[in-house]
Amino acid sequence: MQMLALYSIKGGVGKTASAVNLAAQASLSGRRVLLWDLDPQAATTFYLRNKPRIRGGGVEKLVKGKATLEKTIRGTELDHLDLLPASPEARDMDMLLEGRKASRLRKMLKPVSNDYDLVILDCPPGLSTLSEQVFSSVDALLVPVVPTTLSMRTLTQLQQHLDGEHITTPLWPFFTLVDRRRNLHQESMTGFHEQWPARLSANIPYASAVEQMGVHQAPLTQFAPRTAAAVAYRNLWEEIAGRL
């Protein structure tokens, strides 16, 4: 079982849309995928037409390993894609994970590790106890970056934090919400590959189709598979799959 996280220190960078669309693309490729919504806002859970509730005892029992994951995990309308939903209690994750050993999130999934080829985590923004557990549990961090100064600055801050804590989890940044009509976006993307050689080359455009995911409560593959954004996510997934 491989694990990836959609993570950024900064909010508003297209993290949740990327998590849902990449999970959908991975499931279409035949992988058995579990998408874990770790954000109390539960946007991923909403996109996949589920209610934000943890069955079987809530988040506390889940962290302690006392919840039955088979009752907690829910199916979706896509074959091979399941969801571990968020809930309002997810805001307590930092407190519940305090003092736990590293890689706790991976250990929590051990009972179902043979059921899935890939787990994708949709993480809340910011540095926290939860994010430290994410860093130690996943095989790589997929970091959405808007081609603006502040967004790119947080990528540098993240790498500095990982280096300072001697965390070797690789960063695979990629551009989102790209508007090539803006000079700032064009200028910001220039030279990015040289600075971040591990970056993913597929760029996700700013597109109304992505905004409509909330209306359709579905990934792009279900209602707009031929749009530029859908094609970009398909290319992005193929690049990620090649690295995995």
Q: Secondary structure of 130-194 in the HEC alphabet?
A: HHHHHHHHCCEEEEEECCCHHHHHHHHHHHHHHHHCCCCCCEEEEECCECCCCHHHHHHHCCHHH
Given this model, what pLDDT does residue 137 score? 96
Burial level of 160, CB count in 10 A (0-12/13-18/19+)? exposed
Encoded amino acid at 103, one letter = S
**DSSP-derived secondary structure letter, 205:** B
Cα(96)–Cα(232) distance, rounded to whole angstroms?
37
The pLDDT score that the predictor gives to residue 191 is 77
Q: Given this model, what pLDDT does residue 182 score?
A: 77
| Low-confidence residues in the chain, pLDDT < 70 | 55-57, 67
Separation of alpha carbons 20 and 211, rounded Å: 13
Summarised one tens digit per residue, pLDDT across range 115-167 is 999 999 999 999 999 999 999 999 999 999 999 888 889 999 999 999 999 99
Q: Which domains does the chain have, with CATH numbers?
A: 2-243 (3.40.50.300)
Rounded Cα distance, 16 and 7, in Å: 9
Q: How far apart are CA 204 and CA 33, in angstroms?
A: 22
Per-residue exposure over 78-96, b if at least 16 CB sit within 10 Å of its own CB, e if not: bebbbbbbbbebbeebbeb
Q: Where are the alpha helices (DSSP H) in 48-148?
A: 58-64, 69-72, 93-97, 104-108, 129-137
Q: How many whole angstroms separate alpha carbon 111 and alpha carbon 62?
A: 12
DSSP letters, 7-41, are --SSSSSSHHHHHHHHHHHHHHTT--EEEEE--TT
Instruction: Specify whether the CB–CB gap between 136 and 102 falls below 8 A.
Output: yes
pLDDT at residue 3, as a whole number: 98
Pairing state between β 74-75 and 81-84 = antiparallel
pTM over 0.85: yes
